[in-house]
Amino acid sequence: MDNITLENYKISLNYIKKLRTHFAKTYPIDYKVGQVYQGNVDYSYFPFTPTSLKSQKLKIVIIFDHIKMLFEICLAGQNRQIQKEYWQMFKDSDWNKYHIPATLEGFSIVEHILIEHPNFNDFDALNRHIETETMTFIKDIVNVLDV
């Protein structure tokens, strides 16, 4: 935790937990909302996946990078085989709406920055921004996959 203060870590982690609860309450039917994972002090994340993608063994993950102070979202596979299959499909296509990593070092198939240096003091505005960007990303991914 060299690059971040304990106080900032606690504030951002508390927000992520509230954001997860907001998504779980707002989208209880067509989405599966997982728990917040905080196994690494550099980032925390939770899955927020439409059932149509879950049936394809895919998931959407909302991530907060505590070092870079940004929220991002990504499409990920339930396992390495699924991840590689879909990553290759996106990599071989001419679709370029969002960033496709050059390699499969992480778990992202497709990724997008939701917001950099978020203002945690305005919970409602931050929620609206992240929710709008998240739903747009999901809609775009679902449309391109035609699920």
Position 105 in a domain: yes
Fill in the DSSP letter of residue 36.
P
In a domain, 34, yes or no: yes
Q: How far apart are alpha carbons 83 and 95 in whole angstroms?
A: 17
Residue 29 falls inside a structural domain: yes
Residue 147: pLDDT band by 50, 70, 90 thresholds? Answer: low
Residue 96 lies in a domain: yes
Kindly tell me if the per-residue pLDDT of 1 is higher than 60.
no
Per-residue pLDDT tens over the stretch 73-118: 999 999 999 999 999 999 999 888 999 999 988 889 999 999 999 9
Is position 1 within any domain? no
| pLDDT for res 9 | 87
Q: Tell whether 81 is covered by a domain.
A: yes
Range of the domain at 128: 6-145
The domain tally of the chain equals: 1
The C-alpha atoms of residue 39 and residue 45 are separated, in whole angstroms, by 9
Question: 3-60: per-residue pLDDT in tens?
Answer: 678 888 888 999 999 999 999 999 999 999 999 998 778 899 999 999 999 999 999 9
